[in-house]
A and B are shown apart, each in its own frame.
Chain A
Amino acid sequence: MAQATHRIDVPVSVDQSKCIDGCTLCVDVCPLDSLAIDPETNKAYMHVDECWYCGPCAARCPVDAVTVNIPYLLR
C-alpha cells in the first residue's frame, strides 16, 4: 500500500524542562495509553493522537508539566 506521513496537532503537551527524568506517572494512568517515554530524552510525550481529554495525566503529574488541550477538531 502506498503511504504518506503527515503532521498532526496532538492535544497533550509535556513541558520537557519540567518533566522528571524517568518518571512514568502520566504514562501509567492514561486510559488510552497515548503517552510514552522518549528513549532518547527519558521524558514523556504523546506518541499517538488518541485522547479523551479526560485529564488523569495532568492531575497525576507532580510538577505540573502536563497540559491537556482540547483536540484540535473539537477546539
Chain B
Amino acid sequence: MQIPPLSERRELFCDVLVIGGGTAGTMAALTAAQHDVDVLLLEKANVRHSGALAMGMDGVNNAVIPGKASPEAYVADITTANDGIVNQRTVYQTATRGFAMVQRLESYGVKFEKDEHDEYAVRRVHRSGSYVLPMPEGKDVKKVLYRQLRARKVRSKVTIENRVMPVRVLTVNGRAVGAVGFNSRTGEFVTISAGAVILAAGACGRLGLPSSGYLYGTYENPTNAGDGYAMAYHAGAELSGIECFQINPLIKDYNGPACAYVANPFGGYQVNADGNRFVDCDYWSGQMMAEVKAELDSARGPIYLKLSHLPDATISEIEGILHTTERPTRGTFHAGRGHDYRERDIEMHISEVGLCSGHSASGVWVDETAATTVPGLYAAGDMALVPHNYMIGAFVYGDIAGEHASEFAHGAVREPLPEDQIASAHELIYRPLSHADGPPQQQVEYKLRRFVNDYMQPPKTERYLSLGLESFERMRGDIAAMGARTPHELMRCAEVTFIRDCAEMAARASLARTESRWGLYHQRADLPLSDDARWFCHLNLKKGRSGEMEMLTRPVAPYIVPVPGFDRPDGVENEPATPGELAGAWA
C-alpha cells in the first residue's frame, strides 16, 4: 500500500471512546450506553471473539457471593497475596460489586453453577475464602455479550468499529480528548474525537518469548501486545507495579493454563516428579510461582497436573470442561502427542513473562472510579492496576469506567484535536511502508522478545536488567528500520513498538525497586531480601516533560479492612471506610 496523506483521514466523533472490545471494554460500552452518551467501541480484532476470552471461560476466579464469602475477607486475601502493597479501595470495588455483576451476567444469559439447593457452587482455591465459581456453559459467554451489544436499545447508542487499531491517545492540556489509529484491513487513517476515553486493551501478553519460540504461542491472547500500557504511558498516565511481572503455571508447550482451579474440586492436583505435592496453596501468587520455579529447577522436576488417579467418569467430566471452553484446542494438543489424562499426568511449566493486573499486579494506575492520572482517561480490565482482578474484576471495572467516563464526557469541553500528535502517530503507523525492504516484523519481534527472556526473566539482577535496558534502547533503531507492505503488517509493526515500550518499562521498574518482593514476580538474585523500610510502597512510572521515563513512589493508602496476621511495616493505621462512602459497598 501507499502512505496516505496526513490530511486523508476518517474522522469519528463520540462522547465515550472505548478502546478494546474484550471483557472490560464490552461491559464499559454497555454501561455507558445506559448513561445517555454516544459510545464508540474500537476493536482491533472482532468483538465477537476478542480479548482474553476469545473463545470463552470455564469459570470466575473471584466472585464474592453473600453467604459464601465476605468482601472484607476477599480484600484481606488479595492484600496478603500481594505482600500488602495494594490500594484496598480498588480491590473492595471488585469484592462488593462482583455479586451484582454475576446477577447482571445471569440476566444476560450466562450460566453459573448452582448446587442442589440452588445456591452458587463456589469453591475454595484462595488461602482462606471461597470465590471460584464455575460457568458450565462458559463457551457461550462471548455470544451472550455480543447479543447484548446488538440489542436494539444498545445498538442505537454503541457504534462498533472492528479492525481499527488505535496507537495513541490524544491529549490537550493534559486531558484525554480522543485517539488516533488506522484500519488494519484497509490501511485507512482514523482520528477520533471523544469526551472521555476508556482504555481496555488487555494485558501485555507478547512481552517474553514462549519457550516454543512461536511468537503467538503466548499464555495471553497475543493480540494483547501491551497496546494499552504504551498508549497510557505516552498520554502521560502513571503506571504502577510494572516490576511485578505476570508468570503463570501452564501446560508445557501448549502454553495454556493447566487449570488446577478446574481440576482441584474434582480431585486433581499438582505434583513433582516424585509424585508429591509441593505448593502450600494452589492460588496463583508470586509466592506460589517461586515454589513452582524452585521445584522445576530442583532434582524433583518436572512437575505435573495429576489426574491419572481419578475415575474415568471424572476425567471425562474434566475433559468436557478443559477441552471445550477457554482453550478448546487443549484436547487437540494432547491427542497429537498420544497423551491421555487417564494414563499420563500433564507436564507443566511456567509461562513467559508478561504484564497483567488480571493475574498479577502490573498495570495503569487507577483509583476506585477507574480513573487514571490523566483527566478524561479511564482504564479497566487486565491493563488497569487492580491486583488479581481476573474476569469479574474486568467486568466490574468496565462497568465503573463506563459510568464515570460518561459523567466526565457530559461536562467535557470539546477541543480541536492536536495536529502535532496526529502527525507523530501517522509517522509511527506508516513509517514501515517507506522502507518496505527493511527487516520484517517477525525477525525484529523475535529478537526483541528474546532479549526480554535473556535479561528480564526472574531471578533478576542489576547487571542483567541493565543489559536488557541497553538492548531495548538499541532495538529502537531496528524498529525504526522495520519494513512492511500491507496494512496487516503495519498492525504487527505498531505492536512491536508497544512491546518495546513495555520492555523498557519492565526493565526500568525492575531496576528501580532495589529489593525482592512478590515471590518470583520480582525476585532479585542480587537483592534477595525485602526492604520494607524503603520499599513498602507502590513504584509508579510516567513519561516526564522531557520525554524521559520518570520513577516515583506512592505510599500504600491506609487499609480500609483489617488484614489478619499482617502487620503493616510502616505502622500506618487502618481507616475503615464510612458506611456508604464507597460506591459499591453492600447495603
Residues of A within 8 A of B (CB): 1, 3, 28-33, 48, 50-56, 59, 68-71, 73-75
Structural contact, B45 and A73, CB atoms closer than 8 A: no
Q: Which of B431-486 contact A (CB under 8 A)?
A: 437-439, 483
> Does B332 have its Cβ within 8 Å of any Cβ on chain A?
yes
Residue of A nearest to B442 (CB): A49
Structural contact, B50 and A31, CB atoms closer than 8 A: yes
Structural contact, A48 and B254, CB atoms closer than 8 A: no
Contact of B221 among A52, A59, A74 (CB under 8 A): A52
> Does B328 have its Cβ within 8 Å of any Cβ on chain A?
yes
A3: chain B residues within 8 A (beta carbon): 437
Distance (Å) between the CB of A64 and the closest chain B CB? 15
Structural contact, A52 and B332, CB atoms closer than 8 A: no
Q: Which of B39-59 contact A (CB under 8 A)?
A: 45-46, 48-50, 54-55
Known A1-B438, A31-B50; judge A71-B45 contact (CB<8 A). no
Known A54-B55, A54-B329, A74-B212; judge A33-B488 contact (CB<8 A). yes
Q: How far is the CA of A1 from the CA of B438 in the complex (A)?
A: 6
B46: chain A residues within 8 A (beta carbon): 28-31
Residue of A nearest to B142 (CB): A56
Interface centre among A1, A29, A69, A70 (most CB of B within 10 A): A70
Q: How many A-B residue pairs have CB under 8 A?
A: 90
Q: How far is the CA of A31 from the CA of B223 in the complex (A)?
A: 7
A70: chain B residues within 8 A (beta carbon): 254, 329, 332-333, 336
Distance (Å) between the CB of A62 and the closest chain B CB? 15
B163: chain A residues within 8 A (beta carbon): 33
Q: How far is the CA of A33 from the CA of B490 in the complex (A)?
A: 13
Residue of A nearest to B46 (CB): A29
Interface centre among A3, A55, A59 (most CB of B within 10 A): A55
Q: How far is the CA of A2 from the CA of B83 in the complex (A)?
A: 52
Contact of A53 among B50, B213, B329 (CB under 8 A): B329
Q: How far is the CA of A65 from the CA of B217 in the complex (A)?
A: 23
Structural contact, B336 and A32, CB atoms closer than 8 A: no
Residue of A nearest to B492 (CB): A50
Contact of A55 among B185, B217, B221, B328 (CB under 8 A): B328
Distance (Å) between the CB of A24 and the closest chain B CB? 11
Structural contact, B49 and A54, CB atoms closer than 8 A: yes
Residue of B nearest to A48 (CB): B488
A53: chain B residues within 8 A (beta carbon): 217, 327, 329, 332
Structural contact, B213 and A31, CB atoms closer than 8 A: no
A68: chain B residues within 8 A (beta carbon): 329, 332
Interface centre among B185, B223, B492 (most CB of A within 10 A): B223
Structural contact, B336 and A75, CB atoms closer than 8 A: yes
Q: How far is the CA of A55 from the CA of B308 in the complex (A)?
A: 27
B437: chain A residues within 8 A (beta carbon): 1, 3
Interface centre among A1, A3, A33 (most CB of B within 10 A): A33
Q: How far is the CA of A32 from the CA of B215 in the complex (A)?
A: 12
A1: chain B residues within 8 A (beta carbon): 437-439, 483
Q: How far is the CA of A53 from the CA of B488 in the complex (A)?
A: 19
| Chain B positions 250 through 266: 1 when the CB is less than 8 Å from some CB of chain A, otherwise 0 | 00011100000000000
> Does B216 have its Cβ within 8 Å of any Cβ on chain A?
yes
Starting from the known contacts A3-B437, A31-B50, 9 additional A-B residue pairs (CB-CB under 8 Å) come to: A28-B46, A29-B49, A31-B223, A53-B327, A54-B221, A56-B54, A68-B329, A68-B332, A75-B337
> Does B246 have its Cβ within 8 Å of any Cβ on chain A?
no
B215: chain A residues within 8 A (beta carbon): 50
Q: How far is the CA of A70 from the CA of B216 in the complex (A)?
A: 12
Residue of A nearest to B332 (CB): A70
Known A31-B45, A69-B332; judge A54-B327 contact (CB<8 A). yes
Residue of B nearest to A67 (CB): B332
> Does B222 have its Cβ within 8 Å of any Cβ on chain A?
yes
Structural contact, B213 and A73, CB atoms closer than 8 A: yes
> Does B26 have its Cβ within 8 Å of any Cβ on chain A?
no
Q: How far is the CA of A31 from the CA of B50 in the complex (A)?
A: 6
Q: How far is the CA of A24 from the CA of B418 in the complex (A)?
A: 38
| Chain B positions 301 through 335: 1 when the CB is less than 8 Å from some CB of chain A, otherwise 0 | 00000000000000000000000000111001100
> Does B184 have its Cβ within 8 Å of any Cβ on chain A?
yes
Q: Which of B43-88 contact A (CB under 8 A)?
A: 45-46, 48-50, 54-55
